[in-house]
Amino acid sequence: MGISLTSIFIFLVALITQISGAALIPRTAGFTDIGWTATCLASYIASTWLLAILVRQGVALNIVVPFMAAAVPLSTIAIAYLAYGQSVSLPKLGLLVGACCAIGIAGSLK
């Protein structure tokens, strides 16, 4: 049984909401800005809820989590660089890409 287009769509929305939550953390001012904090937390809650729906639909947790674990950090680094002007060193990026590859390989092992 393959993964349905609906499951892929739900995963992508979960991924986007997770990345959005991470990108909003600096705006929360250490969770002292109520509006941004509520938006940030709502993003994380929505992402977790969508992942729970995927698991309920039969998508294996050991497939979903490695994909999230690989995509979220790399996307967050890109947002930190582009939106917040944070620096990204080549060694740091290389280590993170390598770690994401290791997570992907580990997730595919039986």
Over the stretch 62-76, which tens digit does the pLDDT of each residue have? 888 888 888 898 898
Whether the predicted pLDDT of 95 surpasses 60:
yes
Write the CB contacts of 2 (distance below 8 Å, at least 6 apart in sequence): none
Euclidean distance between CA atoms 17 and 45, whole angstroms: 9
Query: Is the Cβ–Cβ distance between 27 and 79 less than 8 Å?
Result: no
Going by the DSSP 8-state scheme, the letter that residue 56 receives in this structure is H
Tell me the residue range of the domain where 66 lies: 5-108
Summarised one tens digit per residue, pLDDT across range 25-39 is 999 999 999 999 999
Give the count of domains, the chain: 1
CA distance readout (Å), 5 to 9, 12, 44, 62, 105: 6, 10, 23, 19, 24
